[in-house]
Structure 1
Amino acid sequence: MNSTDWLPDGFTLQRTATNDTHLSVAVGGSGPILVLLHGWPQTSRAWARVMPALARTHTVVVPDLRGTGESERPENGYAKTDQADDMRGILDALNLTGPVAVAGHDIGSMVALAWAASHPDDISRLVLVDALLPGLGLEEAMNVAEGGMWHFGLFMTEHIPEMLFDGHELEFFTATFSAMSNPGTFTDTDLAHYARAYTGRERLRGGFAHYRTLLDDGRDNRALLARRKLPMPVLAIGTTRSGTSTAQALWPHAKDVRSAVAPTGHFVAEEDPSWFTETVTTFLA
């Protein structure tokens, strides 16, 4: 099994120098540009089930975020505004000019929001899929004393999560993906791919580095959005578990927020590719 066995027909994988690192990016299709940003603990493979349909109407650009997949794992640069510059550099290297549509899931949504807030003229339409957003409610959701999610605090800690997860990657991923998705969504091959992509302390560090900037990301978002609301139309996709919480967080900070609730768990594009594709292409049209 090689690193490109998941790549849909019509897509090519490229390695791009950008923002003092090198990122792997899949590109396919033609038409207006659509950038897809994956979450944790995933890679660009997260979009494989929707890439062919989206490529019928768009030039689809699908990077591995820094620290993940086939991209490099630099020590720094994981602030979401820094990663927005990663994405801008990818488009420059590919000679693709904007404005572009961007869809992000989970951590990818955080990068997409930072990009839209820091460089709003780059983005024509913004899709955020089932995400807690720094500065817009994430910090409250991290408060364990009030019933918040425990894993954020652990993942933000230096060195400790790498030590605890090392050697248990597949076990953890299987339990996590199963608990957060509809039964049958992920095959053994899918789970093995993601576990392999994060196996070993260096690969784990690259993933957890996305969490270690979250408090700074929140401060950045609040400062950026205090100056100007997001001017582009925004589609906030929730799930049967999260409802409209992402949309509610965005309402005070964007001029045009639309909400949709997917009939899925957390991994919308993989659990119901047809629903995702129809919903997103309708919004982009």
Structure 2
Amino acid sequence: MSPVIEGFTYRRVPVADGVALNAAVGGSGPAVVLLHGFPQTHLMWRHVATGLAADHTVICPDLRGYGASDKPAETGSDTYSKRTMAADIVALARALGHERFALAGHDRGALVAFRAGLDHPEAITHLACLDVLPTLDMWNVMRGVRASVGWHLYLMAQPAGLPEQMIAAVPDAFFGSFLDQWTADPAAIPAEVRTAYLTACREAIPSIVADYRASAGIDVAHDEADRAEDVRLRMPVTVVQQDWGAALGYDAAALWRSWSDDLRHHTTSAGHFMAEEAPAEIIGRLRELLSRQGLAPTPQ
């Protein structure tokens, strides 16, 4: 039996035509939605979710295309755009009775959370992004041999067909390599959770690649349009990252400040999978964020 978040109830919630999301829901109080990264599922939040559920309603979905959520065929560039995936999350929260909610995302989920913050400021009260840069900034800093850490970004940016075939030939080796290389504490992802991640990824290769392909195309266009119009995040924002800026030669905090006037930027000694490696630290950062005073909702 696949592992679950202890004490949480699982729901299957329709969010768009023909698309339903799998979501674990627990606790009571103000809503917090937690979005997972790659190559993971909602299970990555198992420690943080139970820690926050003491005084919050915590919602942990599998993103569209991942885990036990629906995986629609890529019929156009927007099928897996972060704008579409962000709309899924707002629809999910509303279906569960939450018009306004705090949102935290890790890796791919952080890109969805960032887009939700820009597109739906009336819904997002607080925003946390773990170990990413906004898509436009990410591509701008990825250059030179030091950027080889992001080789998978370029592979999955290619037209449909070859990337999927290559990954399908050695799926456990491909997805497992990131679980091995990106963690500072291998014990943080026990065998049963690792197996669940690899199984979920094997079953979602086309949709995972489509998600990454969108980030090399339509997601960049959306960020560029917002940058040109000076659209900014209007809610309190917390970013927690490894010190990638020092490694790759850029000022991560400055890049994030270009999108937010109410930013607190932190670096961590944990590895990429920080919610599993250092859950107490991440719970603390999220609780500090949730204590900050947000702006009034945008009139509709």
- TM-score (normalizing by structure 2): 0.87
1:146, 1:176 → 2: CA distance? Answer: 17
1:246, 1:31 → 2: CA distance? Answer: 33
Deviations 1:91-144 (A, max 9, x none): 12112221x111011111111111111111211111010013212x11124446
Greater alpha carbon shift after TM alignment, 123-132 vs 222-231: 222-231
Cα deviation, residue 145, structure 1? 7.2
Q: Which position in structure 1 is the counterpart of 2:199?
A: 196
Q: Which position in structure 2 is the counterpart of 1:239?
A: 242
Q: Which position in structure 2 is the counterpart of 1:19?
A: 16
Q: Which position in structure 1 is the counterpart of 2:162?
A: 160
| Structure 2 residue 9 is matched with structure 1 residue 41 | no
Cα deviation, residue 248, structure 1? 2.5
Q: Which position in structure 2 is the counterpart of 1:139?
A: 139
Q: Which position in structure 2 is the counterpart of 1:123?
A: 124
Cα deviation, residue 250, structure 1? 1.4
Q: Which position in structure 1 is the counterpart of 2:104?
A: 103
Provide the alpha-carbon RMSD of the alignment: 1.9
Gaps of 5+ in 1: none
Q: Is the 8 A contact 1:234 1:257 kept in 2?
A: yes
Q: Is the 8 A contact 2:24 2:60 kept in 1?
A: yes
1:196, 1:35 → 2: CA distance? Answer: 24
| Structure 2 residue 84 is matched with structure 1 residue 82 | yes
User: Size of the alignment, in residue pairs?
Assistant: 278
Cα deviation, residue 233, structure 1? 1.1
1:251, 1:235 → 2: CA distance? Answer: 11
Q: Is the 8 A contact 2:133 2:256 kept in 1?
A: no
Identical pairs, percent: 31
